[in-house]
Amino acid sequence: MAISARRGRAGTRAFTLIEVAIATSILMIGMVSVLSATSQMHSLRKSNRERTLAQNAVRSFAERMHAAARGFSDDPASWAQDLLALYGPGAADTFQVQGLAPVEGEVAVGRIVIGTDETDTDREIGADLGLPRDLNGDGDAEDADVSAGARLLPVVLTLRWTGENGAHQLRHAFYVMGY
């Protein structure tokens, strides 16, 4: 009889408290890992959205500037002055980007710099455009102001915004040409 009673108790064995604690710990570690990965993916998605908004804004603004330069090219002598009047200092040299907040202390997200000094270097404008360069086609790169007769103007668009992971910056440099 004693042998059969032992067999009955061994067949209905339950989990011990230690086994339940270990299983719960493993489950909790898995849940924390999933929650952490989800949070990081959400942050990355927001950051990628901000970067896409910035890249699309820069591309769109560069296309508008090229179109404006093309529109002003009816008078090759003054196209650069017309472009500067539209986008240069004192005009609309800053712009907003919907969906992006400017860095604290800044008026706008985007800033436009149009170079008219042939002696400026890449370091001075903060972009690799191969400067100094002959912008008015007179055979030298020593003129301090070529806005009256430029054939080519360097442009640097800089976007600075505060996003999901702090302050960000995107810089796009290109040339506009009088056709």
Higher pLDDT, 162 or 1: 162
CB-based contact 138:131 (threshold 8 Å): no
pLDDT of residue 1 exceeding 50: no
pLDDT of residue 141: 86
% of the chain surpassing 90 pLDDT:
49
Structure tokens at 107: 């008026």
Instruction: Kindly report, residue by residue over 66-99, the tens digit of the pLDDT.
Output: 998 888 877 777 888 989 998 887 777 899 999 9
Question: Given CA atoms 104, 106, 112, 117 in this order, what sign does their dihedral have?
Answer: negative
CB-based contact 100:93 (threshold 8 Å): no
Higher pLDDT, 63 or 72: 63
**Type of residue found at 140:** D
Higher pLDDT, 89 or 106: 106
pLDDT of residue 59: 95
Higher pLDDT, 154 or 136: 154
How far from 85 is each of 39, 80, 81, 112, CA to CA, in Å? 47, 9, 6, 12
CB-based contact 83:64 (threshold 8 Å): no
Distance CA 67, CA 70 (A): 5
* 3-class DSSP state of 131: coil
